[in-house]
Each structure stands twice: as C-alpha cells, then as structure tokens.
Amino acid sequence: MKNYNPTSPGKRQLIRVETKGILTTKEPEKSLLAPHPKRAGRSMTTGRITTRHQGGGHKKLYRIVDFKRDKFNIPARVVSIEYDPNRTCFIALLYYVDGQKAYIIAPHGLAVGDEILTSENAAPKIGNRLKLKNILVGAQVHDIELNPGSGGKIIRSAGSYATVLANDAGYTQLKMPSGEVRMVLSECYATAGQVSNPEHNTQNLGKAGRMRWLGVRPRVRGTAMNPPDHPHGGGEGRTPIGLRRGPKTPWGKQALGVKTRKKKKWSDKFILKRRKIGYGSKS
C-alpha cells in the first residue's frame, strides 16, 4: 500500500495500492477494446433514476476479457499486466503461439514473461486453466464455470478465491469466500490461484471526488430526509428513526436480516453449507 504526504486535503487520508513493479506501462491492446456507453442508474425508456447512487464517472473503454479460455493445449505468453477501469482486479494480455491475443483476469503472482496453458490435465500452477476434477484438494481456484463450456462465472473480483474441499460422485465441493460450501460439476474448468489485487479492499480513496470519478453518486442518510421521502425522515434535529420493527428501506421494507434468495431455487441442491448472514448469525 502507498501512503501519501498530506500536501492537500484530498491526499491527507489517501491510501492506494502500490502498482509499481506490478503493472506495465503499455497502452491497451486496440483490437481488444470496445465502446462502453454510460447507462448506469437510469431507465433506458424514461431516463428516470431507477438505481440510486449511480451515474457520471470518467469516460472509459471496455476491455474484452476471455472468460472461456477455450484454446486448449496452446501455450500463451504473458505480455503485460494492466489496469482495467471496469473491474477491481488487474488483467493480463496473452500472446498465443498461433498469434492470437486475449485478455484474461490476472491471477495474483502472475508476471510478465510467464507461460500459461489451458488443458484438461495442465499442471496446477498459477494461471493455468484445468478441470476441477484434476485440481488437488486444498488448492485455490478462481474464474470458475458453473456449466461446462459456459466460461468463468464466479470468483472474479479482486483478491477472491475458492478452496477445493473434495471430489465426489462427479462433483467438486468448493468453499466460497462467503463461507458457503457449494458443489460444482467436476467437468467445469477453473483457473489455479487467487485473483490479483488482493489489497483492493484496504484502499482509502481520500475524497468524495474520487468516488464520483468511479461513477458513484452521493448517498444521503434517511434520517436527514423529510417524511415523504424516507421512513426514517422527519423530526427536529438528530432524532432516532422511531420505528418499532427496526430500520426500513426507502420503500418501507425491512432493511436488516432479510433473506433475498428465492425460496426453493433450483440450485439449492448444490449448496451443502449456507453462508453466514447478518451480524454473527448462524443461519
């Protein structure tokens, strides 16, 4: 982590990830860029705000990331490790032996010049992609498929990883970052290692303006509003929310301890142990 001298109010609290020696200074690969128009927060039809606290942000281009990595048994060399404004982790640019280029989610510890491979029986080293049934128990994996051939769907954010617990009856048991233990088909592919940028959650952006650059608009406390605008609003000065059943959302629903997962969801049969919910809850 990098601490800054307090040369301005915005730098007094600023703590950022040290990327010197990790990221390369190479410009993004133009053939792997796509337009990324701003649509956050507003309805496509009426233009009204439908998701609060989103909007604005710096102009950016989308980096086309290959989540499938379906070039089997063709080695690739890591050319650069780059910053991606669209996600919390870093991305790596690969040059395949056959000349094709691709971006992937960069695992923690991957370096420029490393050679990686996608193969059913690839060695379980950092960056290699292989089937879950061929990964040793206790290993860390990320960018995991939920259905064979569908591409990585889960464990893709900075610093996250799942731990392989067991292989049994065609399924692999994975312990998720939330503590949930889930079964995934052993024929699905996953990438060995942890996602890059594990110190992302320890950053302090230092000022509100940096959040605006990221497309995050201000959040106003419900107690600071008027009664028509929020259930917590009204009263003289700093008053409690005054609700017997606890905090409410702006739409009058219970705000704490509410389960949002659908009951009898088809994938419930794959969950062996539920994640912990709420503050110290054992459910």
For 215, the token pair is: 């497309």
Q: Are 143 and 190 in contact (CB under 8 A)?
A: yes
pLDDT over 50 (residue 90):
yes
pLDDT of residue 271: 95
Which tens digits make up the pLDDT trace of 108-144?
Answer: 999 999 999 999 989 999 999 999 999 999 999 999 9
Model confidence, pTM: 0.88
For 209, the token pair is: 């303006």
Judge if 34 and 141 occupy the same domain.
yes
Query: Of the residues 168, 202, 236, which one is the last residue of a structural domain?
Result: 202
CATH of the domain at 60: 2.40.50.140
Q: Which domain holds residue 188?
A: 18-47+56-202
Which tens digits make up the pLDDT trace of 241-269?
Answer: 989 889 999 999 999 888 888 999 999 99
pLDDT over 60 (residue 281):
no
The H or E element that residue 104 is part of is: strand 101-105
Q: CA–CA separation, 231 vs 145, rounded Å?
A: 42
Judge if 187 and 254 occupy the same domain.
no
Burial of 54 (0-12, 13-18, 19+ CB in 10 A): middle
pLDDT over 90 (residue 276):
no
Judge if 232 and 123 occupy the same domain.
no
pLDDT of residue 39: 85
Question: How high is the mean pLDDT of the chain?
Answer: 93
Q: Are 167 and 137 in contact (CB under 8 A)?
A: yes
Reported as a pLDDT band with limits 50, 70 and 90, residue 278 is: low
Judge if 262 and 123 occupy the same domain.
no
**Tally of structural domains, the chain:** 2
Helical ranges in the chain per DSSP H: 9-12, 208-213
